[in-house]
Amino acid sequence: MPSFCDVSQKVQAGERLDPEDALLLLAHPDLPALGRLADLVRRRLHPDGEVTYIVDRNVNYTNVCVTLCKFCAFYRRPGDPEGYDHPAEVIYDKIRETRELGGTQILLQGGHNPDYDIERYEALFTGIKEHAPIHIHGLSPSEILHCCKVSKLPLETVLARMRAAGLDSVPGGGGEILVDRVRKLISPLKTMSDEWLDVMEACHGQGLRTTATMMFGHVETHAERIEHMRRVRELQDRSAGFTAFISWTFQAPHTQMQDTPMSGGADYLRTAAVSRLFIDNIENFQASFVTQGIDMAGVSLHYGMNDLGSVMIEENVVSSAGCECLANIDEMEKQIRAAGFTPRRRNMFYDRVDEQGELQTRHPHPAWAQRSPHGDRRPWDSAEDSAPAQASSGARS
The minimum distance between CB 6 and another protein, in angstroms, equals 14
Residue 392: is it exposed, middle or buried by C-beta count within 10 angstroms (0-12/13-18/19+)?
Answer: exposed
Q: Would you say 168 or 307 has its CB closer to another protein? A: 307
299 binds another protein (CB under 8 A): yes
Q: Would you say 189 or 266 has its CB closer to another protein? A: 266
Q: Report the residue from 140, 255, 292, 310 that binds another protein according to the rule CB under 8 A.
A: 292
Distance (Å, whole) CA 82 – CA 391: 43
Q: Report the residue from 263, 275, 319, 397 that binds another protein according to the rule CB under 8 A.
A: 263
Q: Would you say 210 or 292 has its CB closer to another protein? A: 292
Segment lying near another protein (by CB under 8 A), choices 17-25, 75-83, 103-111, 258-266: 258-266
Q: Would you say 138 or 298 has its CB closer to another protein? A: 298
The minimum distance between CB 328 and another protein, in angstroms, equals 11
The minimum distance between CB 307 and another protein, in angstroms, equals 16
Distance (Å, whole) CA 332 – CA 327: 7
295 binds another protein (CB under 8 A): yes
Q: How many CB atoms lie within 10 A of CB 386?
A: 15
Q: Find the helix or strand (DSSP H, E) in which 99 lies.
A: helix 88-100
User: Do the beta carbons of residue 139 and residue 170 sit within 8 Å?
Assistant: yes
Q: Report the residue from 66, 88, 164, 266 that binds another protein according to the rule CB under 8 A.
A: 266
14 binds another protein (CB under 8 A): no
Q: Which residues of 321-347 are buried (b: 16+ CB within 10 A; e: fewer)?
A: bebebbbeeebbbebbeebebebbbbb
Give whole-number Cα distances, 196 to 145, 224, 251, 295, in Å. 9, 16, 22, 32
265 binds another protein (CB under 8 A): yes
Distance (Å, whole) CA 171 – CA 211: 5
Distance (Å, whole) CA 31 – CA 67: 38
Distance (Å, whole) CA 97 – CA 84: 20
339 binds another protein (CB under 8 A): yes
The pair phi, psi for residue 219, each rounded to 5°, is: -105, 0
Segment lying near another protein (by CB under 8 A), choices 33-41, 139-147, 189-197, 384-392: 33-41
Distance (Å, whole) CA 382 – CA 119: 25
Contacts of 118 (CB under 8 A, 6+ apart): 147, 150, 151, 153, 158, 161, 162
* Contact positions with another protein (CB under 8 A) in 340-379: 340
Q: Report the residue from 238, 338, 364, 382 that binds another protein according to the rule CB under 8 A.
A: 338
Segment lying near another protein (by CB under 8 A), choices 34-42, 172-180, 181-189, 274-282: 34-42
Q: Which residues of 31-52 are buried (b: 16+ CB within 10 A; e: fewer)?
A: beebbebbbbbbeeebeeebbb
The minimum distance between CB 236 and another protein, in angstroms, equals 27
The minimum distance between CB 43 and another protein, in angstroms, equals 10
298 binds another protein (CB under 8 A): yes
296 binds another protein (CB under 8 A): yes
The minimum distance between CB 387 and another protein, in angstroms, equals 37
The minimum distance between CB 339 and another protein, in angstroms, equals 6
Would you call 342 helix, strand, or coil by DSSP? strand
- Per-residue interface string for the shown chain with another protein, residues 302-321, x marking contact by CB under 8 A: x-------------------
In the chain, how long is the greatest CA-to-CA distance? 58
Distance (Å, whole) CA 386 – CA 374: 8
269 binds another protein (CB under 8 A): yes
Segment lying near another protein (by CB under 8 A), choices 68-76, 149-157, 226-234, 287-295: 287-295
Site for another protein, rule CB under 8 A: 29-33, 35-36, 39, 261, 263-269, 292-293, 295-296, 298-299, 301-302, 331, 334-335, 338-340
